[in-house]
Structure 1
Amino acid sequence: MDVATVFREHGAFVHRILRRLGVHPADVDDALQEVFVVVHRRLPEFDRDASMRPWVYGISVRVASRARRRRWSSREVGAEEAPEPIDPTTPMDSVAAKQASEVLSVILDQIDDEKRAVYVLHELEELSVPEVAKVLGCPVQTAYSRLRAAQVAVADAVRRYRMREGI
């Protein structure tokens, strides 16, 4: 398998996951390129019997973390911080989806990187916890622990948001 095939099969997934992991919209294309540069460099080391998606995701997590640190250290914040809108079928759906996406993005930004990665992989990308542990290179129990802590943090943040908004 070559890097072009990996990109065709996993490029959209990596793009989506970089956004979900908090990479600024202006930085996503650069981060996507960085992921596939790493894939190209490390492809000869990849175990052909293993699943490609978790391996690519693990690389994406590390690249996303570096991209967020670079953005944070440069203190470049602006109006374009809001996530890109989702394209649902009606204008009302569009507004609701955009608001939900923005709220989730703000909530996930409050969770540390390790818990956020586990939460995104399990809850949003629907990987099993053992798969998450393998991707992140941590024990399964650690992944469960991080997932539970992230779920509590997200639930608390949603509860605070609803109280503040009167929902």
Structure 2
Amino acid sequence: MDGVFRMIRLFPWAARGSPPSAVERPLDVVAVHAEYADFVFRSLQRLGVRPPDLDDLRQEVFLVVHKRLHTFDTGSPMQAWLFGICKNIVARHRQRAYVRRETTAIPVPETSSEGVLPSPEESLATKQARAELEELLDELDLDKRAVLVMFEIDELGCEEIAEELGVPVGTVHSRLHKARKAFEKALVRRQARLSRGGRR
């Protein structure tokens, strides 16, 4: 398992980030966008949206915000409300992608972390590793996937994740435990397919 999670850190978009500050009341879409656009972008990444679709789906999220902002309970965390919208948008996007039978690739950086241009073999190996990891992560539900990515890729602590998502720390611990179990089962299934000579 540790080797697999080291592979997770091949993702080029993994980056730490502090939770956004609270939006001052009264709320308006411009203020919400200014404070939370980066949070929405990161959330969509963590939920598995591929780079070519990120900007379009972020726009979809804020269209929903524009329509539903009047329903937001100002006594609850804005992050949790926005994350729920992100999940719904991503779920619909996955359905559309399935119908179109889309395949999307995770981009490979042109240089390594040391600034050295990788060889074609290294680039191919990195691309394959990311694709395999993405396949495993896609087997998780969106809540589990997001927490696992935030913990293992973004290297956020459970308290940071709880603050960013606006949920109790206990919820983060529970989701993370279940996510790791689900990921491990997905990995075992994949290894079994490979041992039988099946699809990667």
TM-score of the superposition, structure 1-length normalised? Answer: 0.67
Which runs of 5 or more structure 2 residues have no equivalent in the other structure? 1-22, 24-30, 112-116, 196-200
Contact 2:108 2:127 (8 Å CA) reproduced: yes
2:176 paired with 1:153:
no
Q: Percent identity?
A: 36
**2:43 & 2:108 partners in 1: Cα distance?**
15
Pairing partner for 1:120 from 149, 161, 168: 149
1:23 and 2:49 matched: yes
Kindly indicate whether the alpha-carbon contact (under 8 Å) linking 1:85 and 1:94 is maintained by their aligned counterparts in 2: no
Equivalent position of 2:167 in the other structure: 138
Code of the aligned partner of 2:101:
G
CA distance in 2, matches of 1:6, 1:137: 15
Q: How far apart, CA to CA, are the structure 2 residues paired with 1:63 and 1:94? A: 35
Provide closer, same or farther for how the CA distance between residues 60 and 3 of structure 1 changes in structure 2, counting only shifts above 3 A: closer
What is the rounded CA distance, in whole Å, between the counterparts of 1:152 and 1:117 in structure 2? 14
Q: Which has the higher contact order (CA 8 A, sep 6+)?
A: 2
Instruction: Flag structure 1 segments of 5+ consecutive residues without an equivalent.
Output: 47-54
**Are 1:23 and 1:64, in contact at CA under 8 Å, matched by a contact in 2?**
no
Per the alignment, residue 59 of structure 2 pairs with 33
Q: Partners of 1:64 and 1:70 in 2: how far apart?
A: 10
Q: 1:23 to 1:108 in 2, by over 3 A?
A: same
Q: 1:106-134 CA deviation, whole Å, 9 max, x = no partner? A: 11111112211211111111111011122
Q: Report the TM-score, using the length of structure 2 for normalisation.
A: 0.58
User: Contact 2:137/2:145 (CA < 8 Å) preserved in 1?
Assistant: yes
Is the Cα–Cα contact under 8 Å of residues 158 and 173 in structure 2 kept in the other structure?
Answer: yes
Structure number, greater radius of gyration: 2
Contact conserved, 2:41 with 2:58, CA < 8 A, in 1?
yes
Counterparts of 1:143 and 1:4, CA distance in 2 = 25
The code of the aligned residue for 1:109 comes to D
| Structure 2 residue aligned with 1:68 | 90
